[in-house]
Every structure is written in structure tokens, then in C-alpha cells.
A and B are shown apart, each in its own frame.
Chain A
């Protein structure tokens, strides 16, 4: 009789499975990704390595010595502990992150535009006291430009009414506003001395959200050739809220990580962060197998560094506020070992 191994579900709860059951979960996760995204399945030796990682009873799991990757992170200061600058120093000196980030609690470029001078001052002051590179980050968050929060007609209200053309026009107008705001914030932070910009949860409001991000990146790259630009996606699949938007002749709706990465690189991004959402009803093994299968084509063809989103509820990490280290460690190691990516 097979022994039972403690392992995590996608919601973080601890369950017990046999090695054979974990293997079945991994195979089912691969199958789910292949079926959805038409991605090639993981190879047998990759599945075997994943099984060794996920069937291990140890609390910690880590990459081999020498295989370490870069750790970048979003929102490293929300005033949670101390002042903004002290928070950043804690993340640099105690949490040992490689690239940290100034972020406002509103975390949307539309909101930040109104307070660029004060945020730029934070960046400037922080850069005097930090050694590691510093990003400024926020979300494109296209939804904020729709009524009643913003100036353009609300496509989420128009679509259910069948007013498709008006919904599309609203999104097109929102894209213009968002691009302008992202460029303005980027200019302000560059002048203050930031090392890079982070466009986090790109595509959260669908294809218009992703288009605005790409256009803003293109402009910022042309203006500031030495600016680092990181794009972190909101999910594995670009939703077609508009359905007809294109960038460089490529329709954005329905893009998976590989195609997302190619467009981000073309626009001028220097780091791309694919995101695959965790299914809380499935096991950690199922989730990581699905995530890796979806992202592997992106890493295999990457032209820029890939920093996969591996945090609460994404990248095979359980959707739990207090992320169990065994779940995070296994997912992180699996990403590095199987994907051979550049960072997390």
C-alpha cells in the first residue's frame, strides 16, 4: 500500500495523496493546458521531476546551488510596516529581493497621475538610500476610465445591452486616456531617477487594457532607451472585451503567454511576467502542471527575461493570504527547473 504524502490544494488547504495520485494530478493539469491552449505537453522526464518535487514530504524545496534566479516584486511598499522608504529598505535588506518597487496604495496609473510630484520625490529619496534597482509600478487598470469613475461610456454596461459599437468606442477612448497617463507617470519617474517601470496586471480589463500597455511601452522605450520596463500580466489569456483590437497587426483577444511575450518585447519591454491563475478547487500539483505547460512555449522562445508571476493565487501558488512555504517553494522551484526562466 502506498504511503500518503501531505500536499496542498489550490486554496492552500493541506490534504494527503499517494505518489500515484499526485502523478495523476500532474497529468491532468498538463492535459487541461493542452486542451485549452493547444500547448505541447510536458515531456516525461519533466513530469518525473515535477513528481519528485511534489511528492517530497519535506517542508522546503529549492533549486540547485548555482541555479538561482532574479526576484522582482510588485508593490513592495504600501506603508504596511513603516514609512515608504523604510519599507523599501526592509524589502531590500531583510527580504533580500533583487528588484524592488515604489507603489502607491491606489496602484493605478490614473490615480498616480494626480500625485506624480510626490511619488517622484519618494523615488528620488529612495534611490539615495537603496543599492538594488528600483521600479515604479502600477496597473494600467482601464476600467477606471469608464463612467462613473472616468470619462468614457461604460462598456461593461453597454455590452449586456447589445450596444456593441458603443462599447467598443468606449474602450478605444479609454485606451487613449490610459496611454497618456502611463507615459506621463513614466516621464515623471524617469526624471526622478527610477531604474524601471512596472506595468502590473496588464490585460486585466481585456484586450484594450493590454493594447494601452503596449502603446505606452512603445512610447516610453522611444523616449528613454535605458529605462527598464517590466510587464506583468493579469492572467494567462487576454480577454476579448473589445474583440477587434490589434497591435502590430496581431489581434490581442485570445493571446496566450508566448504571443503576449512577443508583443511585449516588440513594444520595448525588457522583462515579461506571464501569469497563470490558480484554480482553488484543484491540487497544487494540478495547478503547477497546468501553469508550466501554458508558459513553457513562452520561455522556450523568449527574447527578453521572463519573470513568471509566482505569488498568491498565481503560478501554482495557493490562493491563501498566508502562503504556505511548502507550496511557494515547490511552485518556485518547479518554475525554475522546468521553464529555465530568468526570474520570479
Chain B
């Protein structure tokens, strides 16, 4: 959404970074396990209550790093918390 990348290209980019097929990206079973394993947040409400796992802004730090994408709120958070700039921008 920030690079104006068309869907086919965007799916290939994300799948490549995650090491899965593009078809896996819309498979909730595969992605549920992968998101948990990589700390990318469990989004759906019943799965959101895992206090030891990354969620929301914590997960977005990991997403920015893993996908090599600048995420504005992550950079803002890092600056304001004195953590430097964690994602490329």
C-alpha cells in the first residue's frame, strides 16, 4: 500500500520473504501457525490473548524487519522510545 505494488507482485514479495507459496498467504491454517512461529501477531480475537507472544505494535516491529518495509508507526514508536530507526525508510 505504500509502494503502489500490484497484488501479484506484492504476494510474491511477501511469500518470498516468508518462505511460503503465494497460495499459503490466504490459508488461515498455514498462516496462523507461521504468524505464531515468527511472532507476527495472532490477529483474530480468540487468539489475541497470548500474553507471551508479540502482538500489535510489537508484531509490527517484526513485520517491518522481516519484510524489509518501512512502517511509519514503528519508526515513530522507536524514535519516541529512544530505540533508533528499526525499519528501512
Task: Using CB atoms and an 8 Å cutoff, list the residues of chain A in contact with chain B.
Answer: 65-66, 68-70, 72, 92-94, 96, 99, 124, 127-134, 190-196, 226-228, 230, 265, 269-271, 302-305, 341-343
For A94, the chain B residues whose CB sits under 8 A away are 44-45
- Across chains A and B, the number of contacting residue pairs, with CB separation under 8 Å, is 92
Partner of B43, one of A69, A132, A193: A132
For B44, the chain A residues whose CB sits under 8 A away are 93-94, 96
Interface size grouping (class) on chain B: 20 to 34
Instruction: Tell me the bound Cα distance from A312 to B61 in angstroms.
Output: 36
**Per-residue A-contact encoding for B57-79, CB less than 8 Å = 1, 0 else:** 10110010000001111011100
Instruction: Tell me the bound Cα distance from A70 to B48 in angstroms.
Output: 22
B2 in contact with A195 (CB, 8 Å)? yes
B56 in contact with A270 (CB, 8 Å)? no
For A192, give the chain B residue with the smallest CB separation: B76
A193 in contact with B77 (CB, 8 Å)? yes
B7 in contact with A131 (CB, 8 Å)? no
Instruction: Tell me the bound Cα distance from A227 to B71 in angstroms.
Output: 9
For B2, the chain A residues whose CB sits under 8 A away are 195-196, 226-228, 270
Instruction: Tell me the bound Cα distance from A228 to B14 in angstroms.
Output: 17
In the A-B complex, the 10 residue pairs with the smallest Cβ-Cβ separation, listed nearest first, are A193-B73, A127-B73, A342-B7, A270-B4, A228-B1, A193-B76, A68-B26, A304-B4, A131-B41, A228-B2
Task: Using CB atoms and an 8 Å cutoff, list the residues of chain B in contact with chain A.
Answer: 1-7, 10, 22-23, 26, 40-41, 43-45, 48, 55-57, 59-60, 63, 70-73, 75-77, 89
For A69, give the chain B residue with the smallest CB separation: B7
For B44, give the chain A residue with the smallest CB separation: A93
A305 in contact with B56 (CB, 8 Å)? no
Instruction: Tell me the bound Cα distance from A265 to B3 in angstroms.
Output: 11
B72 in contact with A194 (CB, 8 Å)? yes
For A194, the chain B residues whose CB sits under 8 A away are 72-73
For B47, give the chain A residue with the smallest CB separation: A93
Partner of A93, one of B5, B45, B59: B45
For A191, give the chain B residue with the smallest CB separation: B76
B1 in contact with A271 (CB, 8 Å)? yes
For B60, the chain A residues whose CB sits under 8 A away are 131
A227 in contact with B6 (CB, 8 Å)? no
A93 in contact with B43 (CB, 8 Å)? yes
List 25 A–B pairs whose Cβ atoms lie within 8 Å, in order of A's numbering.
Answer: A65-B23, A65-B26, A66-B22, A92-B43, A93-B45, A94-B45, A96-B44, A99-B1, A124-B76, A127-B77, A128-B56, A130-B56, A131-B59, A132-B43, A133-B1, A191-B76, A192-B76, A193-B72, A195-B71, A195-B73, A226-B72, A227-B2, A270-B1, A305-B7, A341-B7
